[in-house]
Chains A and B, each alone.
Chain A
Amino acid sequence: MTHAASVVVGYALTAAAVLAYAARVVRRGRSLGRSLGISGTGRNGDDAEHGREDRSGSDASRTPPGIEHGRDAASAAP
């Protein structure tokens, strides 16, 4: 391998790895945001998929009455 080739490979690999990681982070964020219904760009289609969510994805619409804070499975499960 020539010196120049090693530099090209090194820079290309670095750029590719960082870009791939960043893309993965962003994609994961997008898909999570969409499924949580908190996306500003979310269209009605997204919300229709998750019928119980309104545009703002507020707590009240998601949580049925009786279970305000269902975080603690151990205590809330019957």
Chain B
Amino acid sequence: MIETPEPDLRQQAQRAGSLTMTGSVATRVLGVVAIAAVGVMALLALWISPADAVQGDSVRLMYIHVPSIWVAYGGFVLTAFASARVLWRTRSGAGGTYGVIADRHARRWDRVAGAAAELGVLFTALTLVTGSLWGRVTWGTYWQWDARLTTTVLLFVTYLGYLALRRLPAESRARARRSAVMALIAVVNLPIVHYSVDWWRTLHQEASLNLEPGGDRNITGEMYWTLLYSWATFTVVALWIGIHRYRVLRLEELAEEASLEELLAQRRDEQAAGR
């Protein structure tokens, strides 16, 4: 008989699910902190920090635009790291039954990669949307073929593809390794994309003006601290949701296995009845 990977999976889920489905004491505390932090952030960003002399109130978009992309980058870095771990833990020779990941750590890293990439995509989308809004009121246009914007949209599409690949049904080992390879290719490709797009734009246009909200304009101390605080807030919120997402991924795996067991049991019953 093949040794069951992660035999205490269900017990773990039970323990985690004993309060709510995916909550635990830690995530509840984290949740309260996150909500309080968001409240304070709204005060700081919308009320206490001053409007910019040039950009006016639209500078406030910076406090969600910039932290969004930082959190997204963090998510993608985590995805890459987790993917490398998945490949390492499932490398040929490292124990694994055919089709299924036996290694508990590999399964965990695979979930981390999935959860982090989803948050990364969410926050990249928010970066693009808030950036467009900022662009509309500041440049008078939603979009500029600026190097950073173009790279960001390609980044967004790349990880949409990654998530689409993860969704396709397959045996867990193949799926995890395949997605891990894709995540690492995406990371290798990113500097190339950025460099080529950067070169493309700088060669064909006068170096674009200060296109990033905030950009290199000197910002006041209050703005600086609000930005930093917003970043911390976004990180906490992303962590909170990410942990829940990780646990949901675990439940999804459990459900998959449970339905497989059910099917096998049915099959067994049919055989017994037919005999």
Contact = CB atoms under 8 A, between A and B. Distances in A.
A and B in contact, CB less than 8 Å: yes
Contacts of A41: 20
Interface stretch (B54-62, B146-154, B155-163, B190-198): B54-62
B33 interface: no
A36 B251 contact: yes
Contact of A10 (B122, B134, B255): B134
B166 interface: no
Contacts of A49: none
Interface in B7-66: 10, 13-14, 17-22, 42, 46, 55-58, 60-61, 64-65
Contacts, number: 156
A20 to B, nearest CB: 10
Interface in B215-261: 237, 241, 244-245, 247-248, 251-252, 254-255, 257-258, 260-261
B90 interface: no
Interface residues of A, number: 49
Interface of A: 1-4, 6-7, 9-11, 13-14, 17-18, 21-22, 25-26, 28-30, 32-36, 38-41, 56-59, 62-64, 66-78
Given A29-B20, A64-B268, 9 more contacts: A10-B61, A26-B244, A28-B248, A29-B251, A33-B20, A57-B14, A63-B265, A70-B261, A73-B260
